[in-house]
Amino acid sequence: MTAAPDMTVISTRALTKRYHDVLAVDGLALDVRRGEIYGFLGRNGAGKTTTIRMLLGLIRPTGGEVSVLGRRIVPGETGVFGRIGFLVESAAAYPNLTVRENLEIQRRLTGAPGAAVAQAIGTLRLDEYADRLAGKLSLGNKQRLSLARAILHKPDVLMLDEPANALDPAGIVEIRDLLRTLADEQGVTVFMSSHILGEVAHLADRIGIINDGRLLEELDREELQAKARAYVEVRVSGDPARAESLLRDAGFAHIERDPDDPAALRVPESADRAAEIARVLVGAGLELTGLTPTHEDLETYFLRLTGGVG
């Protein structure tokens, strides 16, 4: 049975996982719809892989519940897994078998038709490596093989943990195009985790940002871009501390130092007040060497929201 349009395909309620004193996932509530690419974004260690393992029934939640394609997922549940493709944590294959042999095993396990192996090899551009031992592949081609295994049986749902891992820039674009095609043309639901905001922002229809096991924010691409703050970057010759003091006295209460450039100041939410900033500093006799209205990039927004470097 194919899921109806707008049907919730992946759902979690109060999903929690604790390892002794470590709360890895904390009360997670998600709803992912058919044909949607959902980007699950977080720093390394935020709880992304633990969540995907619970979605797949590979580990048992401490609390809450998961359902996929209308079936509650518990360890040992097998009823829906013929309709799910997945890649979790790192690329894996039988190293002493060829690419083709690895995919043939997957085809038999999933009951896919005989032509599926050749189709998957072509889709992931593995033709020249089809008869090479998997253990002899580069990391990028091992990732391609794992993705080929995930899509070989034409699943309704793909759960991918860091799918761009080890791929070169051209490979990342290819995988991006493949996932977009699967979602748009075949209605495949893609749940993908990543710590790379740029890739998620390019591809995902909706983005959930997780940190320390908790869902901080959920928004679509346009909302994410809109939330990136406007600011004016200010540079003066010689005395940024005095420039900061002058601007605070003039009513610019929120001034930040750029941690990567101590000579630069950022004045948030003031992109339309650049001329006023210039008058304050030049009027006080400071030499203004830079005044740039801009928006923070999405990576900076992500780090600001999650509280540090990922």
Q: Could you tell me the residue ranges of all domains in the chain?
A: 8-225, 228-306
Per-residue pLDDT of 77-93, as tens digits, reads 778 888 999 999 777 89
Summarize the confidence of residues 19-29 as an average pLDDT: 96
> What token pair was written down for 156?
């309704």
Residue 20: per-residue pLDDT: 93
Summarize the confidence of residues 123-150 as an average pLDDT: 95
What top-level class would CATH report for the domain 228-306?
Answer: alpha beta
**CA 25/CA 42 separation, integer angstroms:** 12
Rounded to a whole number, what is the largest CA-CA distance in the chain?
78
Q: How confident is the model at residue 3 (pLDDT cuts 50, 70, 90)?
A: low
Residues 6 or more apart from 114 whose CB is under 8 A from it?
Answer: 107
Closest CA to 190 of 34, 309, 31: 34
**Which CATH number is 8-225 given?**
3.40.50.300
> What token pair was written down for 284?
């006080």
Residues 6 or more apart from 117 whose CB is under 8 A from it?
Answer: 100, 103, 104, 107, 152
